[in-house]
């Protein structure tokens, strides 16, 4: 499948902000495709091959209900970014590394503080500079934390509790992470030696690409009740951390794409795109990948926890108080690239345990769901949506519509609408850091290229993306956050 060119297949509007690609479009489709978008976004979405990837995913063995895409959809590896698919393991349903992504459990976490922007705005520049000095960012950067192989094996199996037990956090950090910061069934023995070697000194590093740490300010409260429960208020300083499983997760994905290359022939099915390489969930290959993927997901949660620890230390140093006195509690941590077993309605009132692939998509469980912290039982799971470094981010809350429409899933960000190459070309002769500084955002990065790739113009309007999931009833707006300082690789 070519990466260039727009989508020219059918798109039928079946409800407000819902567009169907009927399974009659191609003979190999097992289910419909469904894209959540408004009129403005659907025009942008059709400009690349993301919708065709929605069609390709609809051909996977065991797929249930529909192949889905969130409003931040854009072209990706195998699955589109923003893609969601649930497969039934008992009906030959498959697991696909391309449906999780190379950066396994790339995700975000939000920390609140008791600091007011009005009181600290004169100190934002030294704060951002210190964060950039102390937190390793960029390709290949080594971290301050080094783990022996036996320690790393434990970390892969135990997740966040392992680093919290070492003093790099508190019990609340475990409670307020998706899945408690640990996927059961992780099998470090299924992670290659090369992946383990790559992960030995990268836990607690930010990485490159679209990963960042931002100091933000709550600039609007939309749902006062939910915001109060989450401890958010206008004018408050917050910290948003976006990172994943670094080289370890990348290597796990690469390893298993190789393993899965011959699986379709072995198990008797065909794929329209080799990047969708997959195997039945219940096969030996599928089980091996699940064990390794879960271990890499646990590594990613530990990575964000160690980044949290370092950010807290910097804030404590700059403001002369322990981080606890600064109120730097974790609001929530969510995964963006993951596959998990969950119970869902697959149509006609039938409930099944399915394997939900979320590739650039966020879990968005509604009020009362047993898998969210008790503190959020009345308002729904926090859903954290980062924008670009020059535009707003959002905190949403999961709603009942997510269980009806999207296997408990919402969008994950603004979504690119420009390739990195095109963004660099657009930035020629410009200084993105100076442009951001002129609008009150301090940006620090290892080089100009990283800022050029991630400039705000490269992304869709995050406010429009969030409007869609709010209108559909997948997740509702709680608070809007604007960046004031960002560090990137």
Q: Which residues are annotated as a binding site for GMP?
A: 210-214, 336-337, 386-389, 393, 412-415, 488
If we measure between CA atoms, which residue out of 382, 402, 385 comes closest to residue 393?
Answer: 385
Residues within the annotated binding site? 103, 210-214, 242, 336-337, 386-389, 393, 412-415, 488
The whole-angstrom separation of Cα 160 and Cα 119 is 33
Could you say which DSSP state residue 366 is in?
P
The whole-angstrom separation of Cα 422 and Cα 221 is 35
The whole-angstrom separation of Cα 221 and Cα 216 is 14
Q: What are phi and psi of 230, to 5 degrees?
A: -85, -5
Which residues is 477 bridged to in the sheet?
396
Residues within the annotated binding site for Mn(2+)? 103, 211, 242, 336
Please tell me which residue in 357, 369, 405, 412 is annotated as part of the active site.
Answer: 412
Q: Name the token pair of 394.
A: 């959002």
The secondary structure of 67-124 as a DSSP string is EEEEEEEE--SSSPEEEEEEE-GGGT-EE-GGGT-SSTT-EEEEEEEEEEHHHHGGGH
Outline where DSSP puts E strands in 419-474.
442-444
Beta strands at 66-74 and 32-36: parallel, antiparallel or unpaired: parallel
Respond yes or no: is residue 412 known to be catalytic.
Answer: yes
Could you say which DSSP state residue 346 is in?
-
Task: Say if CB 409 and CB 402 are below 8 A apart.
Answer: yes
Which residues is 371 bridged to in the sheet?
none
Which residues is 288 bridged to in the sheet?
none
The whole-angstrom separation of Cα 171 and Cα 424 is 42
* Cα–Cα distance list, 488 to 229, 254, 484 (Å): 30, 25, 14
- Which distant-in-sequence residues (6+ apart) come within 8 Å of 329 by Cβ? 111, 112, 172, 176, 231
- Which distant-in-sequence residues (6+ apart) come within 8 Å of 47 by Cβ? 6, 7, 417
The CA-to-CA distance between both ends of the chain, in Å, stands at: 31
Q: Which residues are catalytic?
A: 412
């Amino acid at each position: 499948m070519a990466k260039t060119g727009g989508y020219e297949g059918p798109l039928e509007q079946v409800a407000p902000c819902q567009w169907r690609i009927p399974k009659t479009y191609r003979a190999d489709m097992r289910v419909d495709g469904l894209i959540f978008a408004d009129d403005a976004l659907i025009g942008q979405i059709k400009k690349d091959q993301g919708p065709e990837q929605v069609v390709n995913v609809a051909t996977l063995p065991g797929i249930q209900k529909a192949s889905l895409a969130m409003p931040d959809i854009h072209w990706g590896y195998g699955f589109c970014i923003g893609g969601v698919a649930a497969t039934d393991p008992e009906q030959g349903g498959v697991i696909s590394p391309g449906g999780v992504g190379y950066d396994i459990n790339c995700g975000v976490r939000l920390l609140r503080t008791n600091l007011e922007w009005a009181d600290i705005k004169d100190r934002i520049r030294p704060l951002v500079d210190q964060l950039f000095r102390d937190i390793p960012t960029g390709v290949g950067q080594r971290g301050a934390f080094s783990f022996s192989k036996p320690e790393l094996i434990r970390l892969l199996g135990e997740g966040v509790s392992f680093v919290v037990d070492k003093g790099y956090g508190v019990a609340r950090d475990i409670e307020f992470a998706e899945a408690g910061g640990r996927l059961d069934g992780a099998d470090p023995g299924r992670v290659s030696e090369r992946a383990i070697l790559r992960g030995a000194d990268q836990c607690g590093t930010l990485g490159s690409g679209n990963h960042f740490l931002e100091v933000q300010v709550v600039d609007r409260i939309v749902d006062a009740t939910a915001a109060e429960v989450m401890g958010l208020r206008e004018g408050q300083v917050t910290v948003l951390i976006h990172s994943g499983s670094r080289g370890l997760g990348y290597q796990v994905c690469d390893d298993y794409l190789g393993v899965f290359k011959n699986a379709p022939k072995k198990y008797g099915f065909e794929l329209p795109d080799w990047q969708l390489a997959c195997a039945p969930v219940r096969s030996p290959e599928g089980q091996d990948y699940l064990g390794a993927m879960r271990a890499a997901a646990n590594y990613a949660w530990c990575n964000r926890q160690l980044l949290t620890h370092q950010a807290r230390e910097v804030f404590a140093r700059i403001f002369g108080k322990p981080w606890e006195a600064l109120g730097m509690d974790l609001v929530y941590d969510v995964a963006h690239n993951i596959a998990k077993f969950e119970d869902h309605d697959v149509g006609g009132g039938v409930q099944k345990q399915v394997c939900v692939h979320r590739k650039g998509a966020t879990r968005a469980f509604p009020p009362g769901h047993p898998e969210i912290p008790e503190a959020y039982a009345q308002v729904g799971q926090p859903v954290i949506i980062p924008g670009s470094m020059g535009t707003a981010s959002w905190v949403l809350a999961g709603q009942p519509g997510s269980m009806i429409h999207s296997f408990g899933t919402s969008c994950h960000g603004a979504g690119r609408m420009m390739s990195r190459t095109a963004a660099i070309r657009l930035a020629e002769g410009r200084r993105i850091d100076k442009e951001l500084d002129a609008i009150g955002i301090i940006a620090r990065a290892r080089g100009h290229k990283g800022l050029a790739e991630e400039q705000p113009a490269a992304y869709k309007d995050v406010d429009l993306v969030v409007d869609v999931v709010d209108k559909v009833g997948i997740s509702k707006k709680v608070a809007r956050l604007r960046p004031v300082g960002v560090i990137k690789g």
